[in-house]
Amino acid sequence: MMMWTSEQVLALAPDANSAKRGKSLANVSQWPLLGRSEQAVWGECKGSGKTPYRTQIDLAEPAFRCSCPSRKFPCKHGLGLFLLLTERADAFQEAPPPDWVTEWLEKRSHSAQRKQTKATKAAAPEAQAKRAQQRATKVAAGLVDLEQWLQDMVNQGLAPLPNQPYRFWDQAAARLVDAQAPGLAQRVRSLASIPHSGNDWPKRMLRSLGLLHLLVQGYQRIETLSPAMQAEVRSQIGWIQTQDELRRRAEQGDPSVNGEKDIWQVMGKVTFEEDNLTVQRTWLLGYQTQKPILILNFAHGSQPLDISLVPGTCFVGELILYPGTGIRRAFVVSREAAVPQLADNVVADQVEVAFSRYAQALSQNPWLGSYPMILGQVQPVQQDMCWWVQDTTGHVLPLSAQFQNPFELLAISGGHPLTVFGEWNGAELLPLSVLTETQFLAMEN
């Protein structure tokens, strides 16, 4: 079990109000029943009614369950119980889990087994081949349609685009969804905002159209590409590979599916809404390899996201990397132990070196989205109502308008250089964490 701190538990809170209420419940007097086993902790919390709320945590992930009516995840009772465990572990009696905890744990185990069985059946070679062929046919037809749409747009010129209604873009995207190319559909929808985003929009529109055209051409010539680039093109189009499938391929020795074992430092996390999905990007950094890795999670509607990777924590573990090029995406296969944050080993770059690395990553993957940057010896500066980070050579990078805490960043620096980790999107830097000589601080966005 990972050794959690109070700060890491509070980082799991869905909002500031939940964190505040969770703190107020981290009091032994609120919990007439407290227990723990190797796998779980549980408790009964006094509420406004006669029956106490039953709260339980599966420590392996962690996963939460509570009998309260709150729709927040984790709720204030889950946070309070978890905080109490970190602060007063002696208050929890070692005991076999009660029936209501055992039933929940068994249900979780059975659900995982059903998913595994379903995945095994779906992985039968005949079923896989049939589905792949059906999808390839749909994607190919969708790309022919997209190519004609792009050609018509270029022939007519870009001038009419600011007057196009949203349905102009949405209808084209919907056809790509029907063609099972959701990655392309998302790129087409993102075009709708470009004509209304500043005077230089034609330049950015042409770049985006060019990347779309490059994807179409790449897929139509996919057999001529390297295995890694083939995987990247399919991924950009939206060809999803399940974790179970990648595990099997790794076990079978597929050279395109690599495992990576290291001490992984959780450097930052950003969550946002996209097409009725909650998307969470979590960045890891290998202690030995200094390789940045992206962990990507999605949640539909009220589904909870994975909250087990908390910025500022470190763990020994193994990842499986998705096939592709440039900055790689992965998922966690196993965790062996938690270790203290090892910020002293983080290699930070000045702005010029960071840009050289970015250029190299773009050469490997021209469709690269968010790029992780670790900038050393930088200070926040304000000029003309805009915020920047500046290194000791005078080079600067603009901070994202999405970043809400520039004054907090300035206060942390105290006039001294910092190490800042963030995402670069090609135009702006979104700080996600700050490393000083004595501490690691996650930045809220």
Long-range contacts of 221-228 (CB under 8 A, 24+ apart): 227/255, 227/256, 227/323, 228/256, 228/323, 228/324, 228/325
| Amino acid at site 404 | Q
pLDDT band at 251 (very low <50, low <70, confident <90, very high): confident
Q: How many Cβ atoms are within 10 Å of 431's Cβ, its own excluded?
A: 27
pLDDT at position 304, please?
Answer: 75
Mean pLDDT of 69-96: 92
Residue 77: enclosing H or E segment and its boundaries? Answer: helix 76-87
Cis peptide bond upstream of 98, omega within 30: no
Lowest mean pLDDT among 133-137, 304-308, 321-325, 399-403: 304-308
Summarised one tens digit per residue, pLDDT across range 103-151 is 999 998 888 777 777 666 655 566 667 777 888 889 999 999 999 999 9
Cis peptide bond upstream of 97, omega within 30: no
| Alpha-carbon span 148 to 126, nearest angstrom | 34
Cβ proximity of 6 and 86 under 8 Å = yes
pLDDT at position 329, please?
Answer: 93
Mean pLDDT of 251-258: 86
> Which phi and psi (to 5°) does residue 326 adopt?
70, -145
Report helix angle 182-190 to 166-178, nearest 10: 170
Query: Could you tell me which residues are beta bridge partners of residue 204?
Result: none
Q: What percent of the chain has pLDDT over 70?
A: 94
**Helix locations, 308-405, DSSP H:** 351-364
Structure tokens at 81: 């119980």
pLDDT at position 245, please?
Answer: 85
pLDDT band at 10 (very low <50, low <70, confident <90, very high): confident
Mean pLDDT of 73-80: 92
Summarised one tens digit per residue, pLDDT across range 276-295 is 788 899 999 998 888 999 99
- In this structure, the strands spanning 33-36 and 40-45 are antiparallel
pTM above 0.85, yes or no: no
Mean pLDDT of the chain: 89
Cβ proximity of 84 and 28 under 8 Å = yes
> Which phi and psi (to 5°) does residue 193 adopt?
-85, -15
| Amino acid at site 163 | N
Mean pLDDT of 238-256: 86
